[in-house]
Amino acid sequence: MKKSLLFFALVFASYSAVQGQTANTGSVSGVVKEATGQTVKGATIKITHIPSGQVVSGSADAQGKFQISNLQEGGPYKVEVTYIGETPVVFENIMLKSGESLNINPIFTAGSSTNLDEVVVVGHGVIDIAAGRKTPIAVSTIRKQDLEERVGAQDITSALANTPSVYITGQAKGFGESSMTTRGFDQSNTAFLLNGQPINGMDNGSVYWSNWSGLTDIASLVQIQRGLGSSKLAISSVGGTVNYVTQSTAMKEGGFVRTTVGNDMFMKATVGYNTGLMKNGFAVSAMFTQWSGNGYMDHTEGAGQSYFLSVGYKANEKHNLNFMLTGAPQWHNQGYTSKLSNYLANGRRYNDNYKDANGVMMNAQKNFYHKPVANLNWDWTIDDKSSLSTVVYASLAAGGGQSLRSDKYNTGKYLAADVNNHQWFGIVSNYNRKLSESLNFNVGFDVRDYKGTHYRKLTDPLGNTNGVVLGGNVNFPNKPLVTNTYSTNPWKAFSSKPDSREDRLAWDYNQYIRYGGLFGQLEYAKNGFTAFFQGSVSEQQNKRSDYFQYTPGNEDSKDVNNFGYNTKGGVSYTLGHHSVFGNAGYYSRQPYQNNIFMNFANDINENAENEKILGLEAGYKFASRFLDVNVNVYRTTWENRVTGSSSLATADDVKKYNPTNDPGILVEGAYLYTTNYGVKQVHRGVEVDFEARPIEKLSLTGFLSIGDWKYDGAVNSVIRNDNRVELGRSQVNLTGEHVGNAAQTSYGFGAKYKVFKGLSVDANYRYYERLYASNYRREVIDGQTYGRYMKLPSFNLLDAGLSYNVKVSDKNSMSFRVNMNNVLNKFYISEATSSNLVTDVNNTWNGIDTSNFVLIGQGRTWNASVKFTF
């Protein structure tokens, strides 16, 4: 086994017969340590009895201790030790006898394609990796070597594409425009955590991956916990929990340089360096990335950077500190859905946003953003039975989205950006106490304070040479001219802003959200049986201050306070290769602020009640030397939710909602926004995934997910224009209709073969069907309005890759990676925002009317990278 330059551990284990058990069983107990003597929390030890194939496993607790029971005597054994973000260390043909001690020196070998190799894992108590909880859940884990290989030039969401019940779409719209659904729930209802810090937007739950382009380079591990998950946060997710664990400060000096190129002039360069552990107890890791590209869809160019700084300090054996700062300033032009007929006539790269702007052809739709994030993790080992973990974080963001504007106050078109700035501070802390050998308890709190600032700023007056008229602001009835323009450079986003309210063309309001929660968990584990109970309570306060629609003294809304809670529990039993488990949870979750205030004004929405979620799930796991299999079933009922969708207005929409043909209200091709209140959904399904290792050089993977995700009951539907002015409302019956925007049936297979030392090839095949549009059409039957969602054609994708690693010297190595996605160049619809019926069979494609607004997925794409490690 190759020696690692970065991480060493020492496992001391003793093997002895267990009193009270049969003569052919025993237990192994020990402590996992680093070479420095520091104990390692969370390492997993799996022992295989080779003659029988029996597998037993356990994990190290907060003090690095572990105990594995029910081990069959009479070796040889295979011992596998794994640690978060590290390549497993395997010992073959280990012999153990009753009373004999075993000393193992596992050397964690960091793959040559890693980045800033992680050796100090921080935030143990707040980073909820599933291995830290003994009760099983539905989980999939992607480690850093696989991350780098799978993602390439795509968003980090693509790393989860081969996961049951996960559907990725939107990448064709531009850099960072992807979105992910889990078990049919969009990403605003999946909790995303960075080192235990929540990163979903507090106002609407959204996650914009363009702001997190650097995660691919700095993450050591990504884990998705589908369904109830193991998050200790007071706010619980519905679809699942995704943990991004960044690399901590490296203990050994060294660095790397990596270059990536890809289709459509994509170029990316990354450099990283680690000082190693210095004499003063500090260690520093840093990384910087520069990227640019033309984008797959026409006129979706983009460019950006990402930076990462991690400073670690070990005060002593009890205290471990790590400070992290990261950000990814970027800009990119955007594409949206278009009529299917446009793609068929102009090709799959067609972009509706490329249009005339006062005599100049351009794509005015541009996103620009800079969101630095800093957090400080502190791990305190209080004694051999208790520990405290805390993360304090801050996020300051500036940027927005530019578009081509026209209104009734100006004769020509102009460019303006809707700005979304925020200040976000928080702290999450968790205390863990080992009450006995079998019973573990933790309790903690989650506090957040958020201020969001929103307005529209002028970026280019175009033909309005004298400036743009400020209309609609009740505080400026004289409609002054706005002449100052502001940059869309993400590095200038914090400074290039209109401090005067007279320069803010629209919106001009602040959001305030304060949140506090308490959570706790009790877990019991003994002789293969585990049980846990978890609960939380939280209070959320929402307030809004509007300086555009309200006069001085009247700009503040009322404070809206909502109380929420959740409770969940589960049991499991493990016997040899087999484990079974069941979990249940109930949530009363506060509504997002964007759903509390009506029409982007201070009016309080009477329909904004707490969402009610009931989740039930059960699973079976089989683990052996050659095969791991997971089977999960689930049922989630979700009531009182608010959903939203957007579509482009048709001529019929203009006729219906704008009979006076006022261009300030609605024009054909402008965006319509539909909001549904009082939605009830029932999601149920089954998931299967496996990994087989028939021979040493070959690994096979596969997954299957079959969902039945439907609406139940009628909803109150509100239609608004691009300025969020209400155009109409109605009650729509959605009973029995399928939830859209994610394939309800999917399956896939993958293989990875090591041709010879350093060279491997891999391929993944995926198939999707029962995919429905995200927006419905209205049908009136016997005076009642029904919503109907269009079913899209099924499709399949094949991805392939090749990796080669070579050692240049004792300290230097090189790695090469080539990816090709959608190898067969399939033409497919990845999402649709309308559900128009077929009106003319001559204008259809695979049974879909070509007037529908759809997004065509990316065709064949490729990327290649080379990395030098020193």
At the topology level, CATH places domain 130-246 in: Ferric Hydroxamate Uptake Protein; Chain A, domain 1 (2.170.130)
For 755, counting Cβ atoms within 10 Å of its Cβ (0-12 exposed, 13-18 middle, 19+ buried), the class is exposed
Amino acid symbol at 380? W
**Count of Cβ atoms closer than 10 Å to residue 552 Cβ:** 7
Within 734-773, strands assigned E span: 745-756, 759-769, 771-772
**Count of Cβ atoms closer than 10 Å to residue 648 Cβ:** 18
Q: Do 564 and 542 form a contact (C-beta atoms < 8 A)?
A: no
More confident position, 738 or 91 = 738
pTM: 0.83
> Which CATH number does the domain 9-104 belong to among 3.90.550, 3.40.50, 2.60.40, 1.10.287?
2.60.40
Q: Angle CA(67)–CA(71)–CA(73) in degrees, nearest 5? A: 130
Q: Which of 309, 265, 273, 310 is nearest to 291 (CA)?
A: 265
pLDDT at 304: 96
pLDDT at 103: 44
118 has a pLDDT exceeding 80: no
Question: Does the structural domain 254-869 have CATH classification 2.40.170.20?
Answer: yes
Q: Which of 745, 715, 717, 747 is nearest to 730 (CA)?
A: 717
In the chain, list all ranges with CATH 2.40.170.20: 254-869
More confident position, 807 or 297 = 297
pLDDT at 25: 53
- pLDDT tens-digit map of 650-684: 788 888 888 888 877 888 878 788 888 888 999 99
More confident position, 169 or 247 = 169
- Which residues 6+ apart lie within 8 Å of 401 measured at CB? 334, 365, 366, 367, 368, 417, 418, 420
- pLDDT tens-digit map of 835-849: 999 999 999 999 999
The least confident of 160-174, 719-733, 797-811, 820-834 is 719-733
- pLDDT tens-digit map of 96-105: 555 444 444 4
248 has a pLDDT exceeding 50: yes
- What is the full DSSP assignment across 448-470? EEEEEEEEEEEEE-TT-TT-EE-
More confident position, 238 or 4 = 238
- In this structure, what DSSP letter does residue 757 have? T
- pLDDT tens-digit map of 299-336: 999 999 999 998 988 778 788 888 999 999 999 999 99
Q: What is the chain's mean pLDDT, rounded?
A: 85
